[in-house]
Structure 1
Amino acid sequence: MACPTLRTTNDMPIVQPPTFEALDLVPFQINPHYLDAMPDTPHLGESRAECLEQCLEQFLERNDVPVVGLREGTWPRREGPRLTLGGITAGALLFRRGQAPEELAPGADLSDLLRERCRFDVSTTAAA
């Protein structure tokens, strides 16, 4: 709810809401309860984690907005102009358009994200 929109939620509504706008307290998207794929676990189909990562990649194709995938037990902590990652050792992932996901450890300084400029509904060809 703290992000500009609800476009990166794990639980999309089954009916069209009047808006996907959220509180816009931070200029980046948050994907709470982010779940990674477990590479050592045999699975014959697409896992929820793989589906989620694919959804975030599709979001980034259309939107030039960073997404922080918060694993269980982690949270963003803001103190004035400073933003850090709090929580357990699981950390988080930072997704950016055209880049591989970046691992974030607890205590990571995320203050640069507070200066981001969100660009929604901009295709990858239009952003180039």
Structure 2
Amino acid sequence: MDLLLLSNSTSDDGYLVHATGAIAELADGRTEALFVPYAGVTRDWDGYTAQVREAFAPLGIAVRGLHEAADTLAAVNAATLIVVGGGNTFRLLQVLRQQDLLAPMAARVRGGAARYIGWSAGSNLATPSIRTTNDMPVVDPGGLDALGLVPFQLNPHYYNLVVPGFRGETRDQRLAEFTALAPDTPVLGLPEGNWLRVAGGRQALHGPHAARWFLGDRTWDVQAGPLTLPG
């Protein structure tokens, strides 16, 4: 099973520019990608797909939007590279569940027939559930279970900034609420500019920043390199 899970797509350098090398490595010569734009809410799916198509073109990868397929199940079952974009995780999960695509997509990736790239909401989708997303539940997805491709939760766009005068919870406090109620489930806070590469049952953290593990009442930072799952 081969996964590339990015925290974010945009940076000061441009759209997906910071991840070009990682995307090329994961694609490993594949020249076609199936893009899932369903997390887009305030952006239309055609425009979203066009943006990803433009970003992947220099890598020699042609992009087709899943929403463009007459038979979405057949499209998933034929894909060798599945790309899931960011946006609203609840909307993403809702549409995939409505189309009965969660199990086929997971099976395709887990069995090695397709490789998986996700960012933000697309990275959340790869975990057991979407319960550690930052997004507002703008729709009811009919359940929070996701693809379960990795055995831990992610929190993309992770930071723990304390804003003077702000009385709401910090990100660490929000994630502590999750781990208090699910003390055996690890959560990895994945900062902007970082990503995870999963291959052969092993995980590696890449990027310029330390990530943070949350498990029960414990937290600790980890640097880029091989990632050991807490237990």
What is the TM-score with the length of structure 2 in the denominator?
0.42
Match of 1:21 among 137, 145, 160: 145
The 5 A counterparts of 1:43-82 are 43-46=164-167, 50-63=169-182, 64-82=184-202
In 2: Cα distance, 1:111 partner to 1:54 partner: 23
Q: Is the 8 A contact 1:4 1:25 kept in 2?
A: yes
Deviation by residue 1:69-113 (Cα, 9 ceiling, x = unmatched)? 00001111112122110112x1211011021x2111111x22435
Query: Which amino acid letter does the alignment assign opposite residue 156 of structure 2?
Result: P
Q: Distance in 2 between matches of 1:51 and 1:65?
A: 20
Q: Residue 124 of structure 1 aligns with which residue?
A: none
Partner SS, residue 112 of structure 1: coil
- SS of equivalent to 2:170: helix
The structure that is helix-richer by fraction is 2
- Name the SS for the 2:134 alignment partner: coil
User: Partner of 2:148: helix, strand, or coil?
Assistant: coil
Secondary structure of 2:229 counterpart: helix
RMSD value over aligned CA atoms?
A: 1.8
1 CA distance for matches of 2:152 and 2:217?
16
Residue aligning to 2:132: 8
Give the corresponding residue for 2:117.
none
Number of aligned residue pairs: give it: 106
Quote the residue 1:87 is aligned against: 207
Runs of 4+ in 1 over 3 A off after TM superposition: none
Code of the residue aligned with 2:207 in structure 1: it is G
* Percent of aligned positions that are identical: 41
Contact 2:161/2:170 (CA < 8 Å) preserved in 1? Answer: no
Q: Match of 2:171, SS? A: helix
- Structure with bigger RCO (C-alpha 8 Å, 6+ apart): 1
Selected match of 1:103 from 221, 224, 227: 221
Structure 2: unaligned runs, 5 residues or longer: 1-124
Decide which structure has the larger Cα Rg and report it. Answer: 2
1:45 corresponds to which letter in structure 2? F
Kept after mapping to 2: 8 A contact 1:81/1:111: no
